[in-house]
Amino acid sequence: MAKRVIVESDLSGEPDAETVSFAFDGKAYTIDLTEGEKEEFGELLSKYIDVAEEATTATGQQTIPAQAQSTGPDPAKVRAWAQENGIEVNAKGRVPHSVIAQYLKAQEESADA
């Protein structure tokens, strides 16, 4: 049986997004964006990319930052919390950043109580 994972935009929540990787100030990031959001992101960065140098190693090969290690909360715990609170989240795949932010805020508020 085939399964389809729908990736939602971290900005808008729209479906059919793709994961975009980028690095800034020594840190690697990923974000899920729709095609339109990806184009807008590229346009915003273009004036900087146009004048930037590609980072290379001593042998002249382009350096590509490794994917950032996940330091966020356990996705299973976030999914369980989301379901308990009526927030739709896919059973598999990345948990949207907006849901993680809500989870972290709720955890912070419960710790303050």
Q: What is the CATH number of the domain that holds 103?
A: 4.10.320
Over the chain, what is the mean pLDDT? 83
pTM higher than the cut 0.85: no
**What is the tally of structural domains in the chain?**
2
| 42 shares its domain with 82 | no
pLDDT digits (tens, 9 = 90+) for 44-81: 999 998 898 877 766 666 665 554 445 678 888 999 99
Q: How many whole angstroms separate alpha carbon 93 and alpha carbon 50?
A: 34
Each residue of 59-71: b (16+ CB within 10 Å) or e? eeeeeeeeeeeee
| 7 shares its domain with 45 | yes
Domain coverage including residue 75: 70-113
Q: Would you tell me how many other CB atoms lie within 10 Å of the CB of residue 32?
A: 23
